[in-house]
């Protein structure tokens, strides 16, 4: 069985999305800019079906390494595609277009049952209504020996962190302050895990910090 991984971009003041998200602006005010470091990378552009003449270098290597052994993805319903539920007669197919950038089975946590949604490029969305542990079991079965990735958002990551299920977490720390929005480390309650710093990769516009999480 592979590892359960989680990685996310976070501002110095701890935010992973800006304030006042809307259906047209799901990352909130200022939330898109925190991902500027990744959007310009060759690996990111390739996974998003773009021509891929983006930047290479240490950050590109980090992104490439993350997805190299990926077998399945888990995300919250808002990350699949927020907005009013349930799915309706002509269902919303999410934010991600016809060829989503995941290229694996994706297990979406939701309260609303729905049949699997097969997209182009290897992504199939499966909708899981019985909680995070069920989603993890299904994802691990689909992934086989490969890793499973928690793609986000913050609330989903918090649930997996609090439950002590994540093996490795990589924080892409960007030199920005948002002053409001969704905090990654919030509502962990008494379930605060011990973490070890595994490696640091410094670059001019983002610091990649990988942690092992004690169980």
Nearer to a second copy, 87 or 185 (CB): 185
CB of 118 to a second copy, least distance (A): 38
- Alpha-carbon distance of 101 to 150, in angstroms, equals 14
Bridge partners for 147 per DSSP: 70
Query: Residue 111 or 194: which CB sits closer to a second copy?
Result: 194
CB of 19 to a second copy, least distance (A): 11
**Single residue of 12, 39, 50, 68 touching a second copy by CB under 8 A:** 12
Q: Which one among 3, 14, 35, 168 touches a second copy, defined by CB under 8 A? A: 14
Q: Which residue, 117 or 178, has its beta carbon nearer to a second copy?
A: 178
Interface mask toward a second copy for 184-213; x: CB under 8 A? xx--xxxxxxxxxx--xxx-xx-x-x-x--
Helix (H/G/I), strand (E/B), else coil: 160: helix
List all residues 6 or more positions away from 86 whose beta carbon is below 8 Å from its beta carbon: 112, 114
Shortest Cβ 81–a second copy spacing (Å): 29
Q: Which is nearer to a second copy, 12 or 23 (CB)?
A: 12
Rounded to whole angstroms, how far apart are CA atoms 163 and 122? 29
Residue of the chain from 1, 13, 36, 50 that contacts a second copy (CB under 8 A): 13
Closest CA to 153 of 92, 87, 37, 73: 73
Alpha-carbon distance 117 to 128, whole Å?
12
133 binds a second copy (CB under 8 A): no
**Block residue for tokens 């793609």:** 151
Cα separation, 74 vs 58, whole angstroms: 26
Q: Which residue has the tokens 């409001």?
A: 180
Kindly determine how many residues on this chain lie close enough to bind a second copy according to the rule CB under 8 A.
31
How many Cα atoms are found within 13 Å in the side-chain-facing hemisphere of 77?
18
- Binding residues for a second copy, rule: CB under 8 A, are 12-14, 171, 173, 175-179, 183-185, 188-197, 200-202, 204-205, 207, 209, 211
């Amino acid at each position: 069985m592979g590892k359960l991984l989680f990685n996310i971009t976070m501002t110095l003041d701890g935010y992973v999305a800006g304030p006042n998200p809307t259906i047209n602006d799901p990352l909130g005010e200022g939330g898109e800019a925190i991902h500027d470091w990744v959007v310009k990378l060759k690996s990111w552009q390739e996974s998003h079906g773009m021509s891929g003449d983006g930047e290479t270098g240490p950050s590109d290597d980090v992104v490439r390494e993350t997805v190299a052994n990926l077998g399945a993805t888990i995300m919250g319903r808002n990350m699949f595609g927020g907005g009013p539920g349930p799915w309706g007669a002509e269902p919303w197919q999410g934010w991600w277009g016809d060829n989503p950038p995941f290229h694996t089975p994706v297990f979406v946590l939701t309260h609303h049952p729905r049949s699997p949604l097969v997209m182009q490029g290897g992504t199939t969305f499966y909708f899981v209504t019985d909680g995070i542990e069920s989603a993890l079991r299904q994802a691990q079965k689909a992934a086989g020996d490969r890793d499973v990735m928690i793609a986000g958002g913050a609330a989903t990551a918090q649930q997996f962190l609090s439950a002590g299920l994540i093996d490795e977490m990589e924080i892409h720390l960007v030199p920005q302050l948002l002053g409001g929005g969704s905090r990654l480390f919030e509502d962990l309650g008494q379930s605060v895990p011990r973490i070890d710093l595994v490696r640091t990769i410094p670059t001019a516009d983002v610091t990649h910090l990988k942690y092992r999480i004690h169980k």
